[in-house]
Structure 1
Amino acid sequence: MGTPLDAANVRRAFRLIIKSAGLDPAQWSPRELRHSFVSVLSDNGISLEEISRLVDHSSTVVTELVYRQQIRPVIQSGAMVMDRLFKP
């Protein structure tokens, strides 16, 4: 309809989907989707800067602090490149 979604309706629909998947709705929230989104992007080599833009953070520092575990592959791959470049 083009109107903003109501948060309560989104949560209710999300709980129904989680329950139908056989999961405990008390342990899941729509926020989990955001963490999954960051993880999938990171695992597929998307840069920290791009991830930060996509999740609408003002800087990569915020993304790094909030999603430290999810962006680990991006950080590790960057470190591996630096190791190759500056190998003694």
Structure 2
Amino acid sequence: MHILPATPFSATDQVSAIHAAVPWSNIDLERGELRVRGTLVRTDVGLTIQPPKTGNGWRTIPLSGAVASAIRRQRAQQAADRLAAGVSWIGSSHVFTTEAGTPLDPRNVSRWFDTVVKRAGVDGSLHTLRHTALTAMAVAGVPLSVVSRTAGHESITTTVDLYGHVAEDATRDAVEALSRRLGLDVESRSEGSGTPLDSVPARVNG
């Protein structure tokens, strides 16, 4: 199995299942977009693509330039695999495949990731990546409505319950940083050092 390039799927549901389910037709590299239309799951009849569980699960996620470049490299790698496999190439429409071109079993993707993080000496899972990505968005000040759409949450209430406190903390940090930048921090006032606003009139005349 090839190492999966960095993608925005870490912010989506069932990361490994979405990785495995994406066909090339759902990626527009020119526009820099990924359309999430299902997950790949193992059933009694084998690997099948099932639609998202909720209406918000059907979504389009923008791709950064770095991610688009990584996916282009994956396309080149897949073409090389096809040449190397020759008549053994089975082929599929999926972006991420085995060296024979067959879809990746999401369970194998999760096992591969677990092995990688264990070798790196860190804790985490593919679901941890999802939580980290969404938390980073909230800390960066991304509106929770956007975070919710990216995650595919059934409602923004779910997003607020999970990440609302992160956004509030980030907002407080931003306000305090601005106050320090303007010399309005509480400590300087309590020490009687004065602030630039001391000389500002209490009222604006006219």
Distance 2:125 2:120 in 1: 14
Alignment of 1:2-81 (within 5 A): 2=94, 5-24=104-123, 28-73=124-169, 76=171
Rg larger in 1 or in 2? Answer: 2
Contact residue 135 and residue 166 of structure 2 kept, 8 A: yes
Residue ranges of structure 2 left out of the alignment (5+ in a row): 1-91, 96-102, 176-206
Structure 2-normalised TM-score? 0.31
Shift of the 63–14 alpha-carbon distance from structure 1 to 2, 3 Å rule, reads same
Opposite residue 147 of structure 2, the aligned amino acid is I
Aligned twin of 1:86? none
Structure 1-normalised TM-score? 0.66
Q: Percent identity?
A: 31
Residue ranges of structure 1 left out of the alignment (5+ in a row): 81-88
Contact residue 42 and residue 73 of structure 1 kept, 8 A: no
Please state how far the C-alpha of 1:69 moved relative to its aligned partner.
4.9
Greater strand share, structure number: 2
